[in-house]
Amino acid sequence: MSNLAVIRMPKRFDYSSSTEFNNAMAAALEQPGTITLDCTELEYIDSAGIGLLVMSQKKAQSRQSKIVLINLKSSPKEILQLANLQKIIDFN
């Protein structure tokens, strides 16, 4: 796992972010490795955003890759914890 891709997350991660996120994720998954989602700007995530993360994790896992979320603010972190995402994706 040598690939270290970093994707900067948008301020709002919802359905409107899906095309850009999926394109960035597809590029990052071209080589196996760790994909870091930098959540410094992320302030809002909804169920569509959570769904995108789950689908991306499944794709990453099938390609021997791993997704890690960093710099999570408290509000999005609480939402991800309520959805039990810490069981499938690493985040601080």
DSSP string, 38-81: E-SS--EE-HHHHHHHHHHHHHHHHTT-EEEEES--HHHHHHHH
Q: How far is CA 76 from the centre of its chain?
A: 12
pLDDT of residue 49: 97
pTM recorded for the entire structure: 0.93
Topology of domain 3-91 in CATH is: Transcription Regulator spoIIAA (3.30.750)
Residue % of the chain over a pLDDT of 90: 92
Average pLDDT for 32-52: 97
pLDDT of residue 2: 56
